[in-house]
Amino acid sequence: MARRKAASKDPLSQAFGWLSTGVGTVQALSPARMCSAVGVRPTPGSTALMRAVGMQELAVGTGILAQPQRAGLLWTRVAGDVAHLTLLGVALQSADRDRRIAGLIPVRRSDGSDRRRVARTVAAVLGVTLLDLAAAVRLSRADQDNGSLRARSSLTVNRPAEEVYRQWRDLEKLPEFMAHLESVRTTGNGRSHWVARAPAGRTVEWDAEIVDERPNELIAWRSVDPATVPNAGKVIFAPVRDGRATEMTVELEYHPPGGKVGKAVATLLGEDPQQQLRDDLRRFKQVIETGEVVRSDGSPDGTITQRLLRQRPAQPPS
Amino acid sequence: MKATCWMGSNHVEVQQVPDPKILSPRDAIVKITSTAICGSDLHLYGHYVPTMRKGDILGHEFMGEIVEVGSGVNNLQVGDRVVVPFPIACGNCIACESEMYSLCENSNPNAALAEKLWGFSPAAIFGYSHMLGGYAGGQAEYARVPFADVGPIKIEDDLSDEQVLFLSDILPTGYMGAEMCDITPGDVIAVWGAGPVGQFAAASAFLLGAERVIVIDRFDERLRMVRENTRAETLNYEDVDGGIPSTLKEMTAGRGPDACIDAVGMEAHHAVLPLHAYDKAKQLTRLQTERPHALREAIMSCRSGGTVSVVGVYGGLLDKFPMGAVVNRSLTITAGQCHVHRYLRPLLERIRNGEIDPSFVITHRMALDDAPQGYEMIKHKQDDCVKVVLRP
């Protein structure tokens, strides 16, 4: 799945999280008092409604606190504000006409102070609504999801960095352990032609070039325009265990055609680049350490996570 | 070929299946001459281990004759007689280089499954669920042995199958259980479980210099077996007054055994019915996967500052673990699936010298065709059954 960089905890949305949680708690625990406070007569009907509103506020509040970067939850607050304004509007009207509306929100009729209370509540909620709107819009704009699929994975290989680098740099050998690649052909000048398996049994082809290369440290490549599926990748090597082993970190990014919609379709078709990358790295480690992709009777094609739950019985293949 | 296939809970059948073939240059094909049913096979039989599929071939203790080698195997030839270790190890990863062969990082293609349960995947094992590789096992006529240049040990001596077969699993497992106790002269070792692993743990503890070994079980014939084949003292926990921990304390004048070996594992039985019922109920409702009576007792019995060595098989999560005893009394808990490859040569040497003859645990010999009967026998301990060896 695309790994969106989590927006740093937006203080405004955090504040709203606390506000919703706080108000919701009071509404749920002391609905009668809250009714009076906003100028509505506390009856079984209105207290039940207030309690329900309180539960909803609590849910939204805790949701925002748990995931302050999710713009969607702030939009839920806006929707809630509109609903509350509607209810308060009804309360105001019934104060005017001195009758029950929908049998739910009777208002004390005395010196009008309750009508003023309702009016004050409406003003307050209106103000909060505008703030909520602003925060929701701001967070939505900060959403960086542009439909790209990203994967990042790392693995330790029990070989010195020179050997691991050499194995990677031989791009034509990549299909040996990267299951979705059919072939890679170097065409000179740091360029290569790649053919990959795509969802629904098709293939995708593109040209790529090495954009950065530091022996035993880094290889970075990028597809050359125009590519049907623009993509880029990078692998970094770091020696560990006194140089006897290497930490290898791979980052891949690709843009399926169709932006966000294309990405959703790709996901639905079972493409999980993160998982595929981890499988690829496991197979790379097997090949470079043991000389072969490890196969069992249950997994005769080696490590493929998507097939884990649909294994054939552990018997020799016929 | 014929093979013992898992067909469901408490159901195995000997069926006709395809012969194995060389798939990789480092493979070898072994024609099996002797194979055994292990106590841990019962965890598969009773379906305590998840990720089994109907048709899986069982068996991880086997030996025989090489009939085919891949192009990458140079240390073995057709005709060689070999015993095959139960963990599959590549020999090239960090774990294998550190001699922790049962932790091989490469041999399990289904590593992601084991990772979900245990955080990381250990090595694959022959015939022991898809979570541990999905490899066909050795209760069959033939088996494909991956990384044959690392695993199998060649037997060139005039030793019978029965004398060397248990190098594959139970003898090194018992030995490692004793070795993990770090035995020093004068030590008293207590062993829970008088099954084959417990028998070998007791024998190994003496080989490693223990002064006394006390073995605990409830089957008199198994306790007699360990008394007759080693210097061990025995306790039948159903006959003992006051419980095992206090009895062991008395037998050691108040200090407790220096180390305790759990050779029982997840399907322990408990004398106190309500406790047994509690653990069994939790196991059946999947609230815990283990019945850790032996482990709890071992911890409570162990001398302060001592070692609890766990070679019994556990799969998942257990309940009511006496962590307070562990922390407050400076206990060391050491555990593991046996790194068999490490022990093959030293233990073969000891067998050659006559220091130990592992065949004493064998009580029943059957044809491979009778494997279903063998499983029932081991499960219900019928006819004083301790170890069943099958001949294809």
Element (H, E) at B7: strand B2-8
The beta-carbon neighbor of A315 closest among B17, B105, B109 is B17
Beta strand A181-188 with A191-197: parallel, antiparallel or unpaired? antiparallel
Tokens 């040209």 correspond to A207
- Mutation for testing the A interface, residue in B52, B71, B130 having most A CBs under 10 Å: B130
What is the structure's pLDDT at A75? 73
Q: Is the dihedral of CA B141, B143, B148, B150 positive or negative?
A: negative
What is the structure's pLDDT at A89? 77
Tokens 């070792």 correspond to B189
Shortest distance between the Cα of B170 and any Cα of chain A, in A, equals 23
> What's phi and psi for A18, nearest 5 deg?
-65, -40
Question: For residue B136, which residues of chain A lie inside 8 Å, CB to CB?
Answer: 297, 314-316
Q: Which residues of A56-89 are buried (b: 16+ CB within 10 A; e: fewer)?
A: bbbbbbebbbeebbbbebbbbbbebbeebbebbe
Residue A194, token pair as written in the block: 């790649």
Q: Inspect the interface and report whether the beta carbons of A294 and B109 lie closer than 8 Å.
A: yes
Whole-angstrom CA distances from A177 to A119, A173, A196, A284, B138 are 69, 8, 13, 5, 30
Residues B132-167 pLDDT 10s: 999 999 999 999 999 999 999 999 989 999 999 999
What is the structure's pLDDT at A100? 53
A274 touches chain B (CB under 8 A): no
Strands (E), chain A: 149-157, 181-188, 191-197, 203-214, 218-223, 231-240, 245-254
**Tens place of pLDDT per residue across chain A (318 aa):** 344 444 455 677 778 778 888 888 888 888 888 888 877 777 888 888 888 888 888 888 887 787 766 666 777 777 878 888 887 777 777 655 555 554 455 455 554 446 777 778 888 888 878 877 777 776 665 555 666 788 899 999 999 999 999 999 999 999 988 888 899 999 988 899 999 887 778 888 889 999 999 999 999 999 998 777 788 999 999 999 999 999 999 999 988 776 666 666 666 666 677 888 899 999 999 999 999 999 999 999 888 877 777 889 999 998
Tokens 């070994």 correspond to B213
Domains of chain B: 2-166+339-391 (3.90.180.10), 171-335 (3.40.50.720)
- Separation CA B89–CA B98 (nearest Å): 12
Please calculate the CA angle B42-B45-B49 and round it to the nearest 5 degrees. Answer: 85
Neighbour-count burial of A102, counting CB atoms closer than 10 A to its CB (0-12 exposed, 13-18 middle, 19+ buried) = exposed
Residue B219, token pair as written in the block: 């089957």
Question: For residue B17, which residues of chain A lie inside 8 Å, CB to CB?
Answer: 315-316
What is the structure's pLDDT at A6? 45
Who contacts B56 (Cβ-Cβ below 8 Å, separation ≥6)?
Answer: A298, A313, A314, A315, B5, B6, B127, B129, B130, B134, B136, B137
3-class state of residue B315 by DSSP: coil
Question: For residue A278, which residues of chain B lie inside 8 Å, CB to CB?
Answer: 112
What average pLDDT does the segment B265-290 reach? 72
Residue A56, token pair as written in the block: 């909803």
- Separation CA B193–CA B215 (nearest Å): 7
Residue B8 predicted with pLDDT over 60: yes
**What confidence tier does B34 reach under pLDDT thresholds 50, 70, 90?**
very high
Question: For residue A318, which residues of chain B lie inside 8 Å, CB to CB?
Answer: 18
Residue B201 predicted with pLDDT over 60: yes
Residue A12, token pair as written in the block: 């405004």
A317: closest CA among A297, A303, A302, A299?
A: A297
Position A176, amino acid: E
> What's phi and psi for B274, nearest 5 deg?
-60, -40
What is the structure's pLDDT at B263? 97
Q: Inspect the interface and report whether the beta carbons of B21 and A282 lie closer than 8 Å.
A: no
Across A100-109, A203-212, B29-38, B122-131, least confident range: A100-109
Under 8 Å between Cβ of B299 and B161: no
- Mutation for testing the B interface, residue in A308, A312, A318 having most B CBs under 10 Å: A308
Residue A132, token pair as written in the block: 């909520």
Who contacts A65 (Cβ-Cβ below 8 Å, separation ≥6)?
Answer: A14, A17, A18, A21
| Residue A201: Cβ within 10 Å count | 6
Under 8 Å between Cβ of B227 and B243: no
- Separation CA B190–CA B261 (nearest Å): 6
In chain A, what's the furthest Cα-to-Cα distance?
Answer: 92
Residue A115, token pair as written in the block: 């009508």
- Separation CA B208–CA B258 (nearest Å): 14
C-alpha torsion A265→A266→A272→A276, nearest 10:
170
- Separation CA B244–CA A153 (nearest Å): 50
Whole-angstrom CA distances from A260 to A227, A237, B153, B222 are 18, 32, 57, 67
- Separation CA A181–CA A203 (nearest Å): 9
What average pLDDT does the segment B323-352 reach? 98
Who contacts B84 (Cβ-Cβ below 8 Å, separation ≥6)?
Answer: B30, B62, B63, B126, B138, B143, B145, B151, B152, B168
Please report the ipTM that was assigned to this predicted complex. 0.90
Q: In B265-322, which residue ranges form alpha helices assigned H by DSSP?
A: 273-284, 293-301
Across B23-27, B45-49, B226-230, least confident range: B45-49
The helix/strand count (H/E) of chain A reads as 8, 7
What's the whole-number average pLDDT of chain B? 95
Residues B368-385 pLDDT 10s: 999 999 999 999 999 999
Shortest distance between the Cα of A159 and any Cα of chain B, in A, equals 9
Strand partners, B8: B11
Q: Give the pTM.
A: 0.78
B134: closest CA among B195, B52, B61, B248?
A: B52
Beta strand B11-16 with B2-8: parallel, antiparallel or unpaired? antiparallel
- Separation CA A197–CA A179 (nearest Å): 9
Q: Inspect the interface and report whether the beta carbons of B55 and A289 lie closer than 8 Å.
A: no
Per residue, what are the HEC states of B220-238?
A: HHHHHHHHHHCCCEEEECC
Shortest distance between the Cα of A191 and any Cα of chain B, in A, equals 33
B123: closest CA among B143, B147, B153?
A: B147
Whole-angstrom CA distances from B28 to A155, A290, B224, B306 are 29, 15, 41, 43
Question: Peptide bond before A226: cis, by omega within 30 degrees of 0?
Answer: yes
C-alpha torsion B140→B146→B149→B155, nearest 10:
-10
A286 touches chain B (CB under 8 A): yes
A299 touches chain B (CB under 8 A): yes
Tokens 């293949």 correspond to A317
The count of C-alpha atoms lying within 13 angstroms of the C-alpha of B86, restricted to the half-sphere facing its C-beta, is: 28
